[in-house]
Structures are given as structure tokens and as C-alpha cells.
Structure 1
Amino acid sequence: MEPKKVKESLTVMCEFVLPDDANTLGNLRGGKLIDWMDIAGEITAQRHSGMEAVTASIAQVTFRKAIRVGDIVTIKARMTRTFRTSMEIKVEVWAENRARPRRVRTNEAIFTYVAVDAGGKTTPVPGIIPVGEKEKLLYEEAGKRRKNNGTHP
């Protein structure tokens, strides 16, 4: 199985925050945002592995700024590292609106996905080739997280 470059599976998606997505304060509900982030992460995992992928964990979820009804949300998911059957993906979120036309970073999280075959059995995934300082740093950080949390999906 040949390793792949991070850019081959990079996913960027946009969502428009509607009233049904918000709480009574007019802020995007956290659960809705995590759902969108999970979709972007799963697309990245499936692009990389060429297989179905299931969410194994979500860690280090941060909520820096509220996202409001009417905001445009941009979600970027990138592979940070792969292991035998699992893939770690960093998902970052930005928001923008008419009053604030520049994007503001609002959220991020680390998702882990496991590749599975048609029968639901875990299956090996290709490695990644980190290119550039940022990708190499994310790759190293992912290795440290795995070592520190003791899980091996």
C-alpha cells in the first residue's frame, strides 16, 4: 500500500448557519457543529483509505468564539497521521459574515477514524507523506498524542 500526500485527502466544506441550527441565543449549537466537523473528517478518511471509515474518537474540542445565525462556516479537515487501521484528522473551523467579512477561527478538534471493510472488520490504511513544516509538526504531535493516551485503534 503506497503512502499518500496529505493534500490528496484534504477536505474543505462550507455551511450556512440557519435558525434551525441555532440555540435560543442565536448561536450555532455545538452538536450541530461537531456533526459537520465529523462529516468533513469522514470524507477525508474515506478519501485517504479508499474504504468506509467510522469515528473512533473525538478529542481536544475547542470552542473559541460563538458562530451566529447567518454566518458562513468553513470547515477544513486534514490528515495528520495514520497508524495500522486508524487515521488521525485535525478539523479546523472558521466563521465569517457580512459584518465581519474576514474569516475568524472559531473551533478545532482531533478526530480518529478507523477504516472498515464491507463486513465491518478493521482494515489497514496507507501511510501519509507529510510535506512542509506544518504537516511534519502535525505528524509528530499525532505520534505524541497516541503515545500519551495509550490507545491503538
Structure 2
Amino acid sequence: MSEQLDEPQGDLTLRTLAMPADANPAGDIFGGWVMAQMDIAAGIASSERARGRTVTAAMKEMIFRQPVKVGDTLCIYTTVTQVGRTSMTLSVECWVRRQFSETRQKVTQAIFVMVALDAAGKPRPVDS
């Protein structure tokens, strides 16, 4: 199956526009900015699942398959794939809709591990 026929997996958690301030001199968006957007989306999804504060404990392997350009709409999809006692594992996919186009392309994906915290900043059970 070709990449153009792939469909995003998970819930659309974050949508934002890639702006000139996020780009390098070649006009490509910095990978660190893309990673930060994915981390924000993982935080939103995990906080909703835990009904409280969560933090990023780990992120597993990101491979950039396509560049993100200024003017692209970045769409981040999340799926909670596993829930432990105090942590959750999320699959996070990053797609772009190219500026002035219907074309969507998967840019990257990663696995995020998020930990639920109590008011004192200590790990707490996810389902508490």
C-alpha cells in the first residue's frame, strides 16, 4: 500500500500551522519543533486519560519520512496503547496537509511514555 493511501491512526489531538519562525534557512521546519508539537499532543491525551497532570518519561525513535514546510498544517494523532499503574504508552503520529492542497503525508511517528503525577509531583495511579 502506498503512503498516499495510508490513513492517520488515533484521535486528532492537535492541529497547528507551521510558521516562518519555526523554519531553518532552507524553509524546512525544525525537527525539534515537530517533536515539541508531538509532546504537547501526548500531554493532552495522557492528561485526559489520567484526569490530571502527566509528564513525559520517554520517547522512542522518531524517523522523519517527509519534511514539513512553512504553511503546512501539522496534524497530530494520538492513541493510548497501554495503561500501567502510573504510566501510559501512546502512539503519536504526525501528518501534514500541504499548503493550498488536499495532499496529506505522514511525516513521522513515535511512542511516548507518560507518567501521571499527584499534586506533590510524585507518580500516582492512572486510574485514581
Structure 1 residue aligned with 2:7: none
Question: Which residue identity lines up with residue 61 of structure 1 in the other structure?
Answer: M
Count of matched residue pairs: 118
Q: In the alignment, does 2:55 pair up with 1:67?
A: no
Q: Compute the displacement of 1:84 (Å).
A: 1.1
For the 8 Å contact 1:11–1:44, the answer to whether it is kept is no
For the 8 Å contact 2:13–2:44, the answer to whether it is kept is no
Secondary structure in 1 matching 2:61: strand
Higher helix share: 1
Give 1:82-101 correspondences, 5 Å limit.
Answer: 82-98=83-99, 100-101=101-102
Secondary structure in 2 matching 1:65: coil
Q: Compute the displacement of 1:100 (Å).
A: 3.9
Measured on the aligned residues, the alpha-carbon RMSD in Å equals: 1.5
Structure 2 residue aligned with 1:14: 15
Unaligned runs of 5+ in 2: 1-9
CA distance in 1 between partners of 2:67 and 2:11 (Å): 25
Structure 1 residue aligned with 2:28: 27
For the 8 Å contact 1:11–1:78, the answer to whether it is kept is no
Identity percentage of aligned residues: 35
For the 8 Å contact 1:41–1:89, the answer to whether it is kept is yes
Spell out structure 1 runs of 4+ moving beyond 3 A: none
TM-score (normalizing by structure 1): 0.73
Question: Which residue identity lines up with residue 65 of structure 1 in the other structure?
Answer: Q
